[in-house]
Amino acid sequence: MSVPVSDYGMGNLANGSGWKRHVAFFLKVSLSLALLYLLYRRLDWKGISNGLSFVGGRELLAVILLWIPNQYLQYLRWKLLAKRAGENVLESDIRASYWLGHTLGFITPGRVGAYGRGLFLTNVPLGKASVLTVAERLYSAITVNGFGLIALGILPYLGWKTEWLFWSGGVSILLSLLGTLLLCVGLVPGRIAKLIRGVLQIRVRAAGLVTSLEAAQGIQTRSAALYLFLAIASLLVSLLQFILMLGALGVEVPLLAGLLAVHLNFFLKGNIPLTLGSLGVGEWTAMLCLRGLGVPDSQAIAASLLLFALNVALPAAIGLIHVKRIFALPRQWRSRS
């Protein structure tokens, strides 16, 4: 299967960048800095620094140790999907592409750059590598958005109170049902992908997306269940890290309500792709979501920033070890088409 790289919007990763790309990057950096500046002016950063000086050692150690299973679960999901390209996929390529996905995701809004992960499977045709990446990201999107809708439906009944969000019991049931149905899509991606393809084929501009859905069509239910389980497990580890970080900062929250409120933060910032790595946006959403459980703004933002450094910035920095692979991509276009 051969698909032009431009169909996936990834050609610019290696073909050079025009002035529009530079301007867009500058705007993203500027917006990230502007949001952080607004947070700096709004909040008691002295209180944050004082709180950090009394960080609980055991909770902080647990947060750091959980980084390992968090990354491993994500890596394993990518490895299993990458192996679908055949036995010729190199283990070194899988490892490098995993970390480079974090790097590219870090420098793009909504972490859309992570969709370039498959480009670094050097002996896999570009089309197949790209659709495998789309399939891998599909499970991240399903889990974040599925549980995000469920969180919106359930949180008001778990003692979570906020002035900016409220609705009736009927709406809560509908949101929870939609979230559950979305999670079920992860179990039968082939049928859903086939349905979407049938709708999109009437639009010429959707040709690249139509082709990408072929990756999901080939996933059997047993494999789909495993991918969904790994996605949910890594998400749960991230949520636990946030709860433990709040505990390290001296804030205790009810476990279930806390997990859902933190996930609502993930859900909102993931759907507001404005800044690099959601930096700034994530801190605002954390502040708004955790207020409903009585978490002080300073602690909510401190926890968000610390986990951003651990779970987003650190993997992105590790990916820089393999950055030479990005510059090698132009030489591979013709041979991998």
**To which residue do tokens 């651990």 refer?**
310
Tell me whether residue 3 is in a domain.
no
The answer to whether residue 147 sits within a structural domain is yes
In a domain, 14, yes or no: no
Output the CA torsion sign for 125, 126, 128, 129: positive
CB 39 within 8 A of CB 161: no
Mean pLDDT over 10-28 rounds to 50
Distance of CA 94 to the CA centre of its chain: 18
* Residue pLDDT, tens place only, 215-225: 556 677 888 89
Domain count, the chain: 1
Angle between helices 221-248 and 255-270 (to 10 degrees): 110
Q: Long-range contact list for 22-30, CB < 8 A, 24+ apart?
A: 25/107, 28/108, 28/109, 28/274, 28/275, 28/276, 29/276
Domain assignment present for 12: no
Return the pLDDT at 58. 87
- Tell whether 262 is covered by a domain: yes
Confirm whether 126 is domain-assigned.
yes
**What digits encode the pLDDT tens for the residues 61-112?**
999 999 999 999 999 999 999 988 877 889 999 999 999 999 988 877 667 7
pLDDT at residue 95 in the model: 94
Residues of 1-30 as b/e, b for ≥16 C-beta within 10 angstroms?
A: eebebebbebbebbeeeeeeeeeeeeebee
Question: 313: how many CB neighbours lie within 10 A of its CB?
Answer: 16
* Predicted confidence (pLDDT) per residue in 248-279, tens digit: 888 899 999 999 999 999 988 877 765 655 66
- For the chain, percent of residues with pLDDT exceeding 70: 67
Q: Characterise 252 by phi-psi region: left (phi > 0), alpha (psi -120 to 50), beta (else).
A: beta
What are the residue ranges of helices labelled H in 7-56?
19-42, 45-52
Q: What is the mean pLDDT of the chain?
A: 77
pLDDT of residue 85: 81
**Residue 108 belongs to a domain:** yes
Task: Please classify residue 119 by burial: count the beta carbons closer than 10 Å to its beta carbon, then call 0-12 exposed, 13-18 middle and 19+ buried.
Answer: buried
What's the whole-model pTM score? 0.78
Decide if 2 is inside a domain: no
Q: What is the dihedral of CA 227, 333, 105, 193, to 10 degrees?
A: -40
Q: Are 100 and 120 in contact (CB under 8 A)?
A: yes
Residue 310 domain boundaries: 20-331
Higher pLDDT, 319 or 168: 319
The answer to whether the CB of 129 falls within 8 A of the CB of 10 is no
What tens digit of pLDDT does each residue of 163-208 get? 666 666 788 888 899 888 888 878 877 666 565 555 545 444 444 4
Using alpha carbons, select from 215, 212, 223, 245 the residue that is nearest to residue 311.
245
